[in-house]
């Protein structure tokens, strides 16, 4: 338990730290990787270059500090992060390392303004915050270790099928090399894969949503090849998977994790995806049709055009197989060939009048996933339609972003 003085100091200095947030975070990662180069194998070095993840970790520490005397408020956020940490195999003994380097970075950036009192208070607060994460993560490790078919750390999987789903998305079917049982998981969860790309200095860890329904004798991920684009470099791992990983190859994988999961309910289910954001939602679609065949499901997908529209035949055919499945697609930029086919129902972007025209009402469970701009739009539409906040569920790719419209 923290004394009141410590709580006061921490709360009153949160705005100062947040103001210097970026400088502190940059310095933190510099120090962290200088002092512990082995952590370069753990943190996504591409996100480091894009400066995204750096903000996520530090912001989470400040957010936690703001609620230092009522940490239960931020428990849902802790759980979401803890799922990712568990999937990355983050260990209790790594917390003090992050703490030491964060404090050192605060000292470096704030200079004389960081008095001994302030540093001491933040040191204590960090320990309390870290203990909450460590405890939540320990429970998750226990759970996965005791689950039928579950495992700790990484398990080797062999690629049994590699299927091209569109010009940019390819599915990989994965079966455990040990031929043992696979654990049940929740539709919407993801796994971490570990790759050692020849010529690369670091091991790369990446999360991919499982894209097929739970209960199959294999796992499936569907990966978008990230090509170079304006200021964004090509995706190292996605290109490696597309070009160099083939049937028969082996990948180490951690057990399914994540809290963006399908909840059973009698409300209609509305799944809205942009681009490769469809992967967790395809899993939910199949899971719902299998487990609750009477529940109406609307699968709404936005893609640029037919050439990048993944699994289009399969998804369209589902409507014939299941009376309760309705599949709608929007192409923002259809090609001439697209005009000859009936894979899309809307040209342009998903918009509220159109959503209202295809859905019976705003009383439904909404799940969405896609690029940040798409997510903001969908969230704004649902808010405008007065969808109840408890019915809105979403997941970002990569580091947690913000849905606030700036």
| Contact residues for ligand HEM, defined by CB under 6 A | 39, 42-44, 47, 53, 56-57, 60-61, 81, 84-85, 88, 90, 94-95, 98, 129-130, 133, 399-400
| Shortest separation between residue 213's beta carbon and ligand HEM, angstroms | 24
Choice between 127 and 326, CB closer to ligand HEM: 127
Choice between 93 and 320, CB closer to ligand HEM: 93
Choice between 98 and 355, CB closer to ligand HEM: 98
Out of 29, 126, 137, 298, the active site residue is 137
| Shortest separation between residue 242's beta carbon and ligand HEM, angstroms | 21
Out of 29, 95, 202, 208, the active site residue is 95
User: How many Cα atoms occupy the beta-carbon half-sphere of 92 within 13 Å?
Assistant: 12
The single residue listed with the structure tokens 């160099």 is: 244
**Which is it for strands 297-303 and 325-331: parallel, antiparallel or unpaired?**
parallel
| Shortest separation between residue 135's beta carbon and ligand HEM, angstroms | 12
Tokens representing 345 are 């129902």
Choice between 192 and 329, CB closer to ligand HEM: 192
Helices (H), 116-220: 116-146
| Shortest separation between residue 167's beta carbon and ligand HEM, angstroms | 28
| Shortest separation between residue 78's beta carbon and ligand HEM, angstroms | 8
Is 394 in the active site? Answer: no
Q: Which long-range contacts (CB under 8 A, 24 or more apart) does 349-353 make?
A: 349/302, 349/377, 350/272, 350/300, 350/302, 350/374, 350/377, 350/378, 350/381, 351/381, 352/381, 352/384, 352/385
**Which stretches does DSSP call E strand in 343-398?**
346-347, 365-369, 392-395
| Shortest separation between residue 396's beta carbon and ligand HEM, angstroms | 7
Choice between 130 and 191, CB closer to ligand HEM: 130
Q: At what angle do helices 116-146 and 4-19 cross, to 10 degrees?
A: 90
Those residues whose C-beta lies under 8 Å from the C-beta of residue 167, and which sit 6 or more positions away, are: 307, 308
CA–CA dist 19, 47 (Å, integer): 22
Is 95 in the active site? Answer: yes
Q: Which residues pair with 269 in a beta bridge?
A: 297, 365
Choice between 130 and 308, CB closer to ligand HEM: 130
Residues involved in catalysis: 95, 137
């Amino acid at each position: 338990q923290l004394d009141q003085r410590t709580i006061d100091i921490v709360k009153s200095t949160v705005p100062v730290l947040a103001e210097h947030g970026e400088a502190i975070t940059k310095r933190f990662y510099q120090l962290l990787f200088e002092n512990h180069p082995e952590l370069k194998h753990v943190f996504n070095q591409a996100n480091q270059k894009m400066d995204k993840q750096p903000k996520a970790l530090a912001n989470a520490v400040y957010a936690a500090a703001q609620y230092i005397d009522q940490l239960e408020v931020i428990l849902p956020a802790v759980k979401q992060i803890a799922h990712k940490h568990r999937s990355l195999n983050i260990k209790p003994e790594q917390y003090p390392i992050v703490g030491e380097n964060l404090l050192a970075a605060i000292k470096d950036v704030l200079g004389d303004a960081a008095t001994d009192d302030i540093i001491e208070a933040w040191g204590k607060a960090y320990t309390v915050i870290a203990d909450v994460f460590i405890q939540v993560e320990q429970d998750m490790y226990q759970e996965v270790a005791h689950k039928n078919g579950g495992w700790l750390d990484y398990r080797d999987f062999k690629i049994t099928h590699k299927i091209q789903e569109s010009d940019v998305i390819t599915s990989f079917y994965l079966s455990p090399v040990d031929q043992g049982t696979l654990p049940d998981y929740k539709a919407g969860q993801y796994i971490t894969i570990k790759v050692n790309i020849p010529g690369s200095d670091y091991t790369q860890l990446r999360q991919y949503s499982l894209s097929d329904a739970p209960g199959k004798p294999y796992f499936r991920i569907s990966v978008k090849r990230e090509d170079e684009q304006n200021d964004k470099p090509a995706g190292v791992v996605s290109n490696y998977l597309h070009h160099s990983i083939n049937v028969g190859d082996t990948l180490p994988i951690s057990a399914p994790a994540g809290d963006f999961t399908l909840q059973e309910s009698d409300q209609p289910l509305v799944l809205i995806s942009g681009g490769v954001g469809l992967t967790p939602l395809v899993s939910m679609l199949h899971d719902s049709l299998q487990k609750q065949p009477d529940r109406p499901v609307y699968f709404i997908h936005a893609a640029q055009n037919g050439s990048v529209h993944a699994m289009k035949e399969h998804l369209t055919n589902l409507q014939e197989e299941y009376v309760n499945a309705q599949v709608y697609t929007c192409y923002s930029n259809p090609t001439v060939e697209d005009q000859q086919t009936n894979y899309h129902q809307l040209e342009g972007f998903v918009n509220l009048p159109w959503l209202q025209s295809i859905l019976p009402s705003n009383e439904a469970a909404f799940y969405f996933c896609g690029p940040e701009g798409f997510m903001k739009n969908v969230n704004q539409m649902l808010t405008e339609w007065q969808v109840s906040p408890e019915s809105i569920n979403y997941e970002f790719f990569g580091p947690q972003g913000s849905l606030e419209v700036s």
